[in-house]
Amino acid sequence: MPHDYAVLASHLVHKGTVISLRRDELAMPGDTTAWRDVVDHPGSVAVVALDDDDAVVVVRQYRHPIGRELDELPAGILDVQGESALLSAQRELAEEAGLAADRWDVLVDVLTSPGMASEASRIFLARGLREVERHVQEHEEAEMTSFRVPIRELVTGVLSGRYENALLIAGVLATDAAFRDGFAGLRPADAPWPARPQS
């Protein structure tokens, strides 16, 4: 029988606008206990927007925790009450890249940092791209730029260390792998997502 890591006590340490920090006391093997800090996160989505020339839409955005810009996939936090992951991904693609897509599939689900955070991210593959009106952005997104990079160039960049964003890496490598069977193994855009945090 696997050990039951029961939560014996839980304390809210900090409640932020997006994330919270709590401290849990867990029952550990050997009749011991230990405290674990957990970052509660509402979850996120990202989009590999693949065009007819096998290029992927990449956005460049300033990220304050690391103090510099990163090349990323269009992405966002699941912070709109009642909005599905698919609708969130569609909204983010329109807002950040000025694009919509005719075909949506689930590419891969990622637990971004399960040793410390509850964040689960669903990465979609979007194809059949078309331009739509891009919304006016604010804060860091006001200076966000978007451009397209051939998928093979992205794979090379991931392996060389050029690209560091976890969702871009997972999305690009999953897309490259999915090419092999003509994307036949992808899940539908509304596939169940057990890892998504409950709001």
Dist. CA 128–CA 101, nearest whole Å: 5
* Residue 148 phi, psi dihedral angles, 5° rounding: -115, 140
Dist. CA 121–CA 3, nearest whole Å: 27
Q: Which of 95, 119, 141, 143 is catalytic?
A: 141
Beta bridge partners of 104: 126
Dist. CA 189–CA 122, nearest whole Å: 10
Q: Where are the beta strands (DSSP E) in the chain?
A: 7-15, 20-28, 32-40, 44-49, 55-63, 68-72, 75-77, 99-111, 120-131, 145-150, 187-188
Q: Catalytic annotation on 141?
A: yes
Could you count the other beta carbons within 10 Å of the beta carbon of residue 123?
A: 24
Dist. CA 149–CA 79, nearest whole Å: 29
* Residues known to be catalytic: 141
